Chains A and B, each alone.
Chain A
């Protein structure tokens, strides 16, 4: 069954830095991978969806890459801002005939003003 791992678990950086969040998954037979943002006590906001045929997807200061063969995805945040502080979750289809998504435990990001 799909397993998703995110590294690091927590990250604190000064404002303005570029940073990379990492996600790995065990079942590479995925049709897409999705990155979410979650603010404390809130629901999930979809940031980027990468289809299996794509290698990258960009939205504003965010860029996500997908390497199915190695079972990895990265989320790149450029010129970080305090408003980027949140937990970032990576999710891949559970697969194996099962529905829904399997989530990593997330990266808790703090951007220091």
Chain B
């Protein structure tokens, strides 16, 4: 199974600022994803992080607000830009190979004040 390290585990940020979340995997993986879990809600996919190309965003999420990098097969970052209190959520990194098990990081709990 893949081991995923996500940093930071939590942060409290001022509105209007940006936060970059890092996701490191202990092995090379084809597919990496970023999810958001708003308070009391289930997980929603933000985007697929593609190695060497632009991320693929789901409806309702845009690159200007959630820029994503994936420089290699073991690392990705998600930036939450120009934050507002509505961005307060848990952000989770996930990896999987097609038709196999998905694994998740421990999440980043973000509070915007």
CB-CB under 8 A from A91, the residues of chain B are 43, 102
A99 and B107 contact, CB distance less than 8 A? no
Nearest chain B CB to A23's CB is how many angstroms away? 12
User: How far is A89 from B107 in the complex, measured between Cα atoms in Å?
Assistant: 15
CB-CB under 8 A from A41, the residues of chain B are 90, 107, 109
Instruction: Report the interface size class on chain B.
Output: 20 to 34
B105 and A43 contact, CB distance less than 8 A? yes
The answer, yes or no, to whether A11 is at the interface (CB within 8 Å) is: no
CB under 8 Å from chain A, chain B span 67-113 = 90, 92, 94, 98-107, 109
**A41-B109, A42-B107, A46-B102 given as contacts; is B45 within 8 A of A101 (CB)?**
yes
Residue of B nearest to A30 (CB): B99
B56 and A99 contact, CB distance less than 8 A? yes
Nearest chain B CB to A46's CB is how many angstroms away? 6
Chain B interface, DSSP helix/strand/loop, else mixed: strand
The answer, yes or no, to whether B19 is at the interface (CB within 8 Å) is: no
The answer, yes or no, to whether B66 is at the interface (CB within 8 Å) is: no
Candidates B43, B58, B98; contact of A89 at CB < 8 Å:
B43
Bitwise, B26-50 to A at CB < 8 A (1) or not (0) is: 0000010101000001111100100
For the complex with contacts A41-B107, A99-B33, 16 further pairs of A-B residues with Cβ separation under 8 Å are A34-B102, A43-B107, A44-B43, A45-B104, A46-B103, A46-B104, A49-B100, A98-B58, A99-B31, A99-B45, A99-B48, A100-B45, A100-B58, A100-B94, A103-B43, A103-B44
